[in-house]
Chain A
Amino acid sequence: MTSRQFAAPLGTAVCAAPGLTENYAVSSILLHRMGEKDAGRPAARAMGYDMKDAQRRYPRLVSKRLMLISPADPEFDAQAAFLAPDSPRFINVADDADSLWWSIATIIGHWHLHGYGLFAVVERSTGSTVGLVGPWFPKGWPEPELSWHLMETGEGKGYASEAVQCVLDWLFNAAGWDTIVSYVPEENTASIALARRAGAQPERLVSFPLQPAPGLRCWRHSPPGRSSSPHHARGLLH
């Protein structure tokens, strides 16, 4: 598989939140690649012990321009997407290949241990991976966090917003979550704007072990209709 591309197997249900996120047909470029791969994959049961969730199917989410897929999905090549020499860099993340490798391995392990985690955000028109967005709950976090990290290829197109909305739709409508927070540094105006656009409400400043930056504020996302926000009630945020 070439760099930053991924193939979706035929027959895998694309999970889109009912009602809110439209279930778009995958683009022709992805359909083309799907044909190249066998759908089934009962493959690796050969010898001995399987970790219980080794063959677990993780959800895929689709929005207008994006597909969100777990990096732990058998059809996603995290090495090619994030770690190849020509992979686009993450914005605001130190350019350190060794640390990035540990982070990606940890993100994949998080999926296996929790059953959810950060999705790789794939631009449907090109198959390029443009970021990581999803729920993140390492030990020491006060509660699960909706986290987002954009790559250079995804900048300035509204992709982070679209992916965040897609994940929120899935969490609240399909996965049955009641709430999730985002921890945003006070000086990160772009992320604050994104949190506001997504309808999140600012709460207290927080501090917890291994937090990624000082001066974090908790922003709380709530299911539509259950937000106490007067703005939300008046429909001013969308």
Chain B
Amino acid sequence: MQLPAIPQLETERLVLRGPEASDFGPVAAFFADEARSWGFGGPLDRNEAWRWFTMSVGHWAMRGFGFWTITCKQTGEPLGITGVWQPEGWPEPELGWVAFPAGEGRGIMAEAALAARTHAYEVMGLPALCSNIFPGNTRSVALAERLGAVFEAEFDNPKHGRELVYRHPAPEAPCDGGMEAYA
């Protein structure tokens, strides 16, 4: 199972590209920071973070989709990750996101996640997407709502425990400015 040709997505300010070995540094720093990573299965030490990062590379091979690294179009600096993932046990593909410190604010994560969601709907042809968010992760909830997602249900994730399922607008009913802006 080889890696697929991972499509590169461009937005006004960002380039979303496939993972590269050099992305491990910022991914490990993210997982080491409990305040930042508790809503994403963290904290993880550097060795555990390497397993997660390596799994995320293998995820592209196993599923044909996965996490992009969000980079600044101007500088190439990694700003976070976003993408669609569905490890075994996930009931459906999930749109996920992680902001590195450099990717906070300025609507960067919304811009990146919207590009990933648009790709998932229009190129991958997914009929629906959810984002599963830990209770209390208000920043992630705010981003989900900004993307037009609404709370749907609670869900017991086999890896992470109780999560809140936020349902994204379906492909045929994009939220304000959504699909048109990136079509």
Contacts and interface: CB of A to CB of B under 8 A. Distances in A.
Whether chain B is bound by chain A comes out as yes
Interface string B25-50: 00000000000000000000111101
A76 interface: yes
A109 B6 contact: no
Contact of B1 (A44, A51, A78, A210): A78
B89 interface: yes
B158 A109 contact: no
B87 A98 contact: yes
B62 interface: yes
Given A51-B18, A98-B158, A101-B88, A109 B45 contact: no
Contacts of A138: 47, 50-51, 54
Interface stretch (A8-16, A67-75, A178-186, A199-207): A67-75
A41 to B, nearest CB: 9
Nearest to B9: A48
B160 to A, nearest CB: 11
B92 to A, nearest CB: 15
Contacts of B61: 72, 78, 105, 108-109, 112
A49 B8 contact: yes
Among B7, B61, B158, residue most surrounded by chain A Cβ atoms (within 10 Å): B61
B62 A108 contact: yes
A37 to B, nearest CB: 14
B5 A45 contact: yes
A73 B61 CA distance: 10
Interface residues of A, number: 41
Interface in A32-82: 44-56, 71-74, 76-79
Interface in B44-68: 45-48, 50-51, 53-62
Contact of B7 (A49, A83, A100, A108): A49
B85 to A, nearest CB: 10
Given A83-B88, A210-B48, A47 B58 contact: no
A56 B2 CA distance: 8
A107 B62 CA distance: 11
Indicate the member of B4, B46, B159 with the most A CB atoms within 10 Å: B4
B19 interface: yes
A51 B17 CA distance: 8
A53 B8 CA distance: 15
Contact of A74 (B1, B62, B88): B1
Given A102-B87, A140-B47, A50 B58 contact: no
Given A110-B58, A139-B50, 13 more contacts: A50-B18, A51-B20, A54-B18, A78-B61, A78-B62, A98-B88, A105-B55, A105-B61, A106-B58, A109-B53, A112-B57, A113-B21, A140-B50
8 contacts: A48-B8, A48-B9, A72-B61, A98-B89, A101-B62, A106-B55, A139-B46, A209-B45
Cβ-closest 4 pairs across A and B: A101-B88, A140-B47, A105-B58, A109-B58
